[in-house]
Structure 1
Amino acid sequence: MNMNDVMGQLPRPIAERMGRMSGMAMRAIIALIDEEPDTFAALVERVGSWDDDPGRAAYPMPRYEFATKEAARIVNDAFTAIEERRPLPNEVVTEGARGIVERLTPEEYRAEALAKLSEFPSGREPMDLSGGEDGGAVSFVITTAAAAWLCGGAGGRMATLENIRLMLLQQARQAESVATGAPEREQVNKISDADALALLGDLYDEDYALLIPSPRERGPWEWDMLAVLKTHLLETPADATTPEQCQELKAKLLTILQAAAATQTKRPKPTVRPVGKRVQPKRRPKRKR
């Protein structure tokens, strides 16, 4: 059962609110990944004020609770993906979130968020970033910051970063479609490989699209290149793409290619024998017959 089916069984006001809160949580994480503090601040404020819009029924639960849980879901998914390969101690995540809170979050929540981050347990003990039912805006800030750090690379532990960002945007779009009640046939929540490759051909030439191999043969860089193109097409149709946006897309694609080239040209350092006096192995005395 997909999200549309689940939400379709709920009363319309509840489905609308859940869709809006989920969408804003995803976009808040994206704003932090993109280092857009003004956008993030506006989303934090909007999550808290949405229920005050004229005509809305009074909401009996804490306003930030569901949006924070949606951000926590992303945190948990990232934790699971990373820990399949190696352990991820709590303090590494909280330290990563701390840097984002210090640089990109609204000043009015910053001091309290930093204080709470210092209280979380270290090691691999259970850690609830959401702050419980009464976490409020501060817990939303903490949880989205942790999600942004994890989805933004987690200190080199996560690959295909553009693909992760695309996943967040797709989830935001799907939640927003549910909130508006748009029929599933009218929703645009995913972009096909063919459409992304067509845009790549428009940016350069048709032969350039042939450089992207089939899905089974793609590496992280090809997936990220397609993700950049799909992310753009989710928000802007190909025929509405401006020359400035084309240049921005080319710059992003070039950055991915340069990173790929740098990775592929790295070679392991040769083992160097330490310089010094060579020690001859001791000879065993011959056994007397």
Structure 2
Amino acid sequence: MTDNPSAIFDGLPSEVVERTGQMHALGGRLILAMADRDADTVGELIDTIAGYDDAPGRRPYPGPRFLTVYQAVFELADSFAQLAVRPGVRADGSFDRARALVRDCVPQAHQDETLRRLDTPGQGQPDAAKVLAAAALGAGFATQPAVFPSQWAMRLTLLRQIRTNEAEAHRVPARERIDVSDEEAIRFLDEVLPDDFVGISRSPSHRDLWEIDLLASAQIFLLGHPASTVTPEQVKFFLGEVTAILEGALGDIDRRRTERDQKTRGGGTGQRTQPRKKKPRGKR
């Protein structure tokens, strides 16, 4: 929704708008949990979806309780499938990935029926197994490097969609919704990474995969921890989370550092590069 509610929601009761937004958000979280192979969260989410309409104070829902969340999950899975069939993209084995995700992540009570639903996707009314099958298929596409070369960027894409759905559920105006831009994330990385870090390219088209990963991980972190309130302990946790990204990029980082140092010593433009001024994290 925008500042002026869309025609779809305008005039609808608040509980209908809330349920629709929450079901879309829960569907996105289900795919994200599948992609992360987080079996505990998958189980918790499907239980939350199944029991949503039974919560005290909620009016009885007149329609099939799994229909809205199934539609939301199917739409996301279909959008990932469309990415997989772009010219030049080789994304094979998505159904095999989905079956593996079902075996690894879906609660035992739902596994057999979910696997059957994967083999017969167009049959039957939406239920827990059909929702789980669609989520597994969506995650099967989303976790393919040919579809999302950066898995951090995939998580950021899903998280942004989830946050939008949750904002729509509560009719939060667009101007009040929080996001984190590339520039905000780059400034944060400049502050928390070592002084000799080479930095992220300002041009998206010039970024290597590790830069995309690092930037997306910073944006995800800042969505949950606004830069103005982040603590040293939270920064330490974040740095631990991105250690693997930085270690995997050591060769490229060292090469760029060498090139930068050569320019600093006059091997390039002859102009000395000024050191970055970093704000102490404890004074934020």
Match of 2:129 in 1: 138
Match of 2:10 in 1: 9
Q: 1:240 to 1:149 in 2, by over 3 A?
A: farther
Structure label with greater radius of gyration: 1
Distance 2:241 2:21 in 1: 30
Q: 1:157 to 1:173 in 2, by over 3 A?
A: closer
Match of 1:164 in 2: 154
Match of 1:287 in 2: none
Q: 1:88 to 1:111 in 2, by over 3 A?
A: same
In structure 2, list runs of 5 or more residues that go unmatched: 254-284
One-letter amino acid of the structure 2 residue matched with residue 148 of structure 1: A
In structure 1, list runs of 5 or more residues that go unmatched: 121-126, 265-289
Match of 2:174 in 1: 184
Shift in Å, 1:229? 0.6
One-letter amino acid of the structure 2 residue matched with residue 187 of structure 1: R
Q: 1:88 to 1:204 in 2, by over 3 A?
A: closer
**How many residue pairs align between the two structures?**
250
Match of 1:216 in 2: 205
Aligned counterpart in structure 2 of residue 250 of structure 1, from 216, 239, 248? 239
Shift in Å, 1:19? 0.4
2:3 touches 2:174 (CA, 8 Å); kept in 1? no
Match of 2:263 in 1: none
Do structure 1's residue 174 and structure 2's residue 164 form an aligned pair?
Answer: yes
One-letter amino acid of the structure 1 residue matched with residue 143 of structure 2: G
2:26 touches 2:49 (CA, 8 Å); kept in 1? yes
Secondary structure of residue in 1 paired with 2:242:
helix
Q: 1:8 to 1:60 in 2, by over 3 A?
A: closer
How does 1:114-153 map onto structure 2 within 5 Å? Answer: 114-117=115-118, 119-120=119-120, 128=122, 131=123, 134-153=125-144
Q: 1:86 to 1:198 in 2, by over 3 A?
A: closer
Distance 2:70 2:159 in 1: 17
Match of 1:57 in 2: 59
1:198 touches 1:206 (CA, 8 Å); kept in 2? no
Q: 1:78 to 1:254 in 2, by over 3 A?
A: same
Match of 1:30 in 2: 32
Q: 1:18 to 1:207 in 2, by over 3 A?
A: farther
**Aligned-pair RMSD on alpha carbons?**
2.8
1:4 touches 1:184 (CA, 8 Å); kept in 2? no
Do structure 1's residue 42 and structure 2's residue 17 form an aligned pair?
Answer: no
One-letter amino acid of the structure 2 residue matched with residue 170 of structure 1: R
TM (norm. structure 2) is 0.77
How does 1:56-75 map onto structure 2 within 5 Å? Answer: 56-75=58-77
Identity of aligned residues (%): 27
Secondary structure of residue in 1 paired with 2:37:
coil
Match of 1:83 in 2: 85
Shift in Å, 1:240? 4.2
Shift in Å, 1:248? 3.9
TM (norm. structure 1) is 0.76
Distance 1:27 1:48 in 2: 15
2:148 touches 2:154 (CA, 8 Å); kept in 1? no
1:32 touches 1:40 (CA, 8 Å); kept in 2? yes
Distance 2:102 2:31 in 1: 12
